[in-house]
């Protein structure tokens, strides 16, 4: 079996570099708005989980900023190695109760914005290994007050990244996002979509390189488009009714992440940092 450790290190290095570039750009936006807000970085180590093996390692860094433009934004990078609980292992690609060793490295970002005209956003990309190795991730836009121009620009950037790596990637992964980011008990989508992909398997080194290149392209697309949308909308006036709509919409976002999100479940089941896992929850929310 391929030793994926050097590849995990390469992926981790990229995720950390992407984090630093994203955080610098978000801090630059705060400066443009006259704010001195900056990210606070909190390192964490992985805790033991029931059914885990000795010698489990890993952890990560939780980056959090609360500012004038970004009401709450978290950018986390984590890398963990260990074993899955026997019950949970059966739900993970390539794992089982008997073969439950895993490694995972990835970046996860959620931004909740102060101005309801600025869309909230989610982005994550990751590399995991069990008896198999694969990439997953995506990005989706979550505007309380949607603008067609913003939606089209966001999707166009992601489509360009997809088209450069697979002729059918955009249509497949857009459809997957539409299916995944859906709240069945509300019968509504979480936002205006994006892309979602998982189990992009690496049978050999060539496949790993191709899938890694695509995953990097998704990160670059996000960094290219989202700051443009923020700058376009962050100075707009808004009404109490606009703010009320934002707070109610955030309730839908919280419901999805707590009930349906795979990443939330994976983090809780693998001894992740609770604050990092739940950083996706909005700072203020209402339910009618």
Residues assigned a catalytic role: 122
Judged by DSSP in three states, 68 sits in coil
Question: What phi and psi values does residue 148 have, to the nearest 5 degrees?
Answer: -55, -40
Task: Supply 158's token pair.
Answer: 């992601």
Identify the bridge partners of residue 75 per DSSP, sorted by sequence position.
63, 109
Q: What DSSP letter does each residue of 204-265 carry, written as one string?
A: SHHHHHHHHHHHHHHHHHHHHHHHHHHHHHTT----HHHHHHHHHHHHHHHHHHHHT-HHHH
Residue 24 CB: number of other CB atoms within 10 A?
A: 10
- The residue whose two tokens read 């390192």 is 43
DSSP state of 47: P
Residue environment code for 133-169, b if the CB has 16+ CB neighbours within 10 A, otherwise e:
bbbbbbbbbbbbbeeeebbebbbebbbebbeebeeeb
């Amino acid at each position: 079996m391929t030793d994926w450790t050097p590849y995990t290190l390469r992926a981790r290095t990229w995720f950390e570099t992407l984090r630093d570039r994203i955080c610098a750009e978000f801090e630059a936006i705060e400066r443009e708005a006259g704010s001195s807000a900056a990210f606070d970085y909190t390192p964490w180590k992985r805790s033991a989980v029931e059914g885990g093996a000795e010698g489990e390692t890993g952890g990560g860094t939780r980056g959090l900023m609360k500012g004038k433009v970004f009401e709450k934004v978290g950018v986390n990078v984590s890398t963990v190695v260990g074993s899955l609980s026997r019950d949970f292992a059966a739900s993970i690609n390539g794992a089982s109760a008997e073969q439950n060793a895993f490694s995972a490295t990835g970046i996860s970002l959620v931004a909740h914005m102060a101005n309801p005209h600025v869309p909230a956003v989610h982005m994550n990309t990751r590399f995991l290994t069990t008896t198999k190795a694969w990439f997953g991730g995506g990005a989706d836009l979550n505007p309380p007050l949607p603008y067609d121009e913003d939606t089209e620009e966001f999707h166009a950037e992601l489509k360009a990244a997809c088209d450069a790596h697979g002729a059918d990637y955009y249509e497949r992964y857009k459809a997957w996002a539409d299916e995944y980011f859906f709240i069945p008990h509300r019968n509504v989508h979480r936002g205006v979509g994006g892309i979602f992909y998982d189990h992009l398997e690496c049978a050999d080194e060539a496949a790993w390189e191709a899938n890694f290149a695509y995953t990097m392209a998704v990160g670059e697309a996000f960094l290219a488009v989202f700051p443009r949308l923020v700058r376009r909308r962050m100075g707009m006036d808004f009404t109490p009714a606009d703010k009320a709509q934002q707070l109610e919409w955030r309730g839908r976002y919280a419901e999805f992440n707590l009930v349906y999100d795979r990443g939330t479940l994976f983090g809780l089941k693998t001894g992740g940092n609770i604050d990092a896992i739940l950083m996706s929850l909005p700072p203020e929310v209402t339910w009618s």
